[in-house]
Amino acid sequence: MLKSWLTFLKDYWLLYLLYACTILFLAWSTVLRSSNSAIFSDVFWPLTYLLVIITVFLSIHWYKKRRAVRNLLEEQDLSTIDEDLGATSQEKSLQELLEKVLSQKAALVEEKNLESQKLKDYYALWAHQIKVPLSVLDLMNQTGTVDQAQTKEQLFLINQYLEMLLSFIRLQNFNGDLNLKKSSARSLVMQVLKQYKFFFIQKDLSLTVDEGDFTLITDSKWLRFALEQIIYNAIKYTRDGGIRIACTDDQKIIIQDSGIGIDAADLPQVFNQGYTGFNGRVSDNASGLGLYLVKEILDKLGHQVSIESSIGVGTTVTIDCSQQTLS
């Protein structure tokens, strides 16, 4: 109780200092003028009674505000302010400031929850997808029909899915993993094609890489990953014919295949997370994750990607590397 009163006096010390100064001035004036002490008494007591009344009023108001603040401090997770913390303009401004901070906190919590859900959805898709090549390998092992080419393909898929997971994790801290430097577009394309040489031979697909080239400023690791996803999709959905790749003078990487194509209704959504479309429902190896990561990565690198396709004719993916603004 004493501590509370001392705190109250500390908060309103200026009022009592003013009262003390007034009484001292009154006493000094009475002594100098040799006035009757009754005059001093006539002024002293009304001022004192007024101070007592003001003190009672202020203490009640102060106690209510203090109790309201203490109740808020005891809250484990403060999200809203239901109490009125003050009547003065300054107190109301402070309350509005606190409400604004709480609103910003709620927005950050919501953003964090969305990011957490996004991670959970991705991990669920990834876990479901990696079961496919593992099941194929397990089946071959159980039946004793191990095929070297098929084993190599399934192991490649497992490695690709693991790389996708690692890339997704690194993507959460993209700027910390960024390493921009000058690179040759054709060189990056050739590095990726070397990885997929086995699939071109296995499916008997032709490959044409135009002689053009250009230099761009990018993160070669991230751009190479995007190219891997696009080129693998081109191989996967191409049964006859082949793939043509060009690095044009206007800083575009164009990957064109003669595959089954993409339905016009699916084109606007192919970059959405988990979306596989008609082709994905037909194919056992569609995850809806590859093109989603491609779009995320290229947007962050400042490169634009677009897809044109016709059913039964083929698909053309264009990466415009001329944009240099990082997102």
Q: Give yes or no: residues 67 and 182 share one domain.
A: no
State which amino acid sits at residue 206.
S
Q: What is the pLDDT of residue 165?
A: 85
Q: Which of 29, 58, 74 is the last residue of a domain?
A: 74
Q: What is the pLDDT of residue 282?
A: 46
Token readout for 163 is 């790389």
> Is 233 among the domain residues?
yes
Q: What is the pLDDT of residue 60?
A: 81
The domain tally of the chain equals 2
Token readout for 53 is 């009344």
Q: Give yes or no: residues 183 and 315 share one domain.
A: yes
> Is 231 among the domain residues?
yes
Q: Which of 21, 45, 74 is the last residue of a domain?
A: 74
**DSSP 8-state assignment for residue 259:** S
Average pLDDT over residues 309-321: 93
Q: How far is CA 300 from CA 5, 136, 189, 296, 325, in A?
A: 59, 35, 20, 6, 9
Q: Which domain holds residue 244?
A: 178-320
Residue 2: which pLDDT band, with cuts at 50, 70 and 90?
A: confident
Cβ contacts of 237 within 8 Å, gap of 6 or more: 257, 259, 260, 261, 279, 283, 315
Query: pLDDT tens, 114-169?
Result: 888 877 877 877 787 788 888 888 888 888 887 787 888 888 888 888 888 888 88
Average per-residue pLDDT for the chain: 83
Can you tell me whether residue 183 is helix, strand or coil? strand
292, burial (CB in 10 Å: exposed 0-12, middle 13-18, buried 19+): buried
> Is 149 among the domain residues?
no
Q: Under a CB-based contact definition with an 8 Å cutoff, are residues 278 and 266 in contact?
A: yes
> Is 91 among the domain residues?
no
> Is 150 among the domain residues?
no
